């Protein structure tokens, strides 16, 4: 059964018609940023190798922007305490890829699939992460919690010479630097805030 409902968002109230569920996520804005880890390495997506990893990037490589300039799709939420719901996509050559999580052999894997991020998400989705401040004293760094498994965050893991993007479990009071990420505008000398 569908009911009309009101969504309270900060100082504004939005009326949501019955066609959308009350827990539907609607895209509010899209920002373009690079993601950096605690070592200032950039997240680079390589769909041909089916990998996303944090890498040291030269200025010349950064100018090409291939696989490293992310669109961060911000959605309106009915539960602001959970964090800001976001989805990530990246352009590689002439194709768009979105980040999602899938279970493989009992383990959650971060994947990038060809396609576009939807404007509206009617319920739970494997592409949504909650953006949270990394710590209360570190407001310019963030961690991203997977919306479908609380306590699982985007992080990096050393795998040979790679710092591969993964989902990692975080216990309640733990601070894990592998989950610390900053969002920078494409130019290195611009503001780091989202």
Task: Give dist(CA 111, CA 35) in Å, integer.
Answer: 16
| pLDDT given at position 27 | 86
With a threshold of 0.85, does the pTM exceed it? no
Q: What DSSP string describes the chain?
A: ----EEEEETTEEEEE-TTS-TT-EEEEEEEEEEEE-TT-PEEEEEGGGTEEEEE---HHHHHH-TTT-EEEEEE--S-GGG-EEEEEEEEETTEEEEEEEEEETTEEEEEEEES---SEE-S--TT-EEEEEEETTEEEEEEEEETTSTTEEEEEEEETTEEEEEEEE--TT---GGG-BEEE-SSTTS----
Give the residue among 72, 42, 46 at the shortest CA–CA distance from 55.
42
Which of these, 45, 50, 15, lies nearest to 7 by C-alpha position? 15
pLDDT at 38: 93
| Mean per-residue pLDDT pooled into runs of 10, the chain (194 residues) | 37 38 75 94 92 90 84 87 92 94 93 93 91 86 95 94 94 88 72 44
């Amino acid at each position: 059964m569908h009911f009309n409902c009101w969504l309270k968002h900060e100082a504004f109230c939005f009326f949501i018609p019955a066609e959308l569920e009350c827990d539907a996520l609607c895209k509010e804005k899209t920002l373009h940023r690079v993601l950096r880890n605690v070592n200032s390495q950039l997240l680079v997506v390589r769909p041909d190798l089916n990998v996303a990893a944090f890498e040291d990037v030269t200025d010349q490589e950064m100018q090409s922007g291939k696989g490293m300039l992310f669109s961060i799709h911000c959605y309106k939420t009915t539960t602001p305490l959970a964090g800001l719901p976001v989805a990530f996509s990246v352009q590689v050559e002439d194709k768009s890829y979105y980040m999602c999580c899938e279970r493989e052999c009992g383990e959650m894997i971060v994947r990038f699939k060809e396609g576009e991020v939807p404007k509206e998400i009617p319920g739970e989705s494997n592409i949504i992460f909650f953006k949270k401040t990394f710590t209360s004293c570190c407001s310019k760094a963030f961690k991203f919690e997977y919306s479908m498994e609380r306590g699982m965050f985007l992080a990096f893991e050393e795998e040979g010479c790679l710092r591969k993007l993964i989902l990692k479990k975080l216990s309640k009071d733990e601070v894990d630097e592998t989950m610390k990420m900053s969002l920078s505008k494409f130019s290195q000398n611009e503001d780091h805030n989202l």
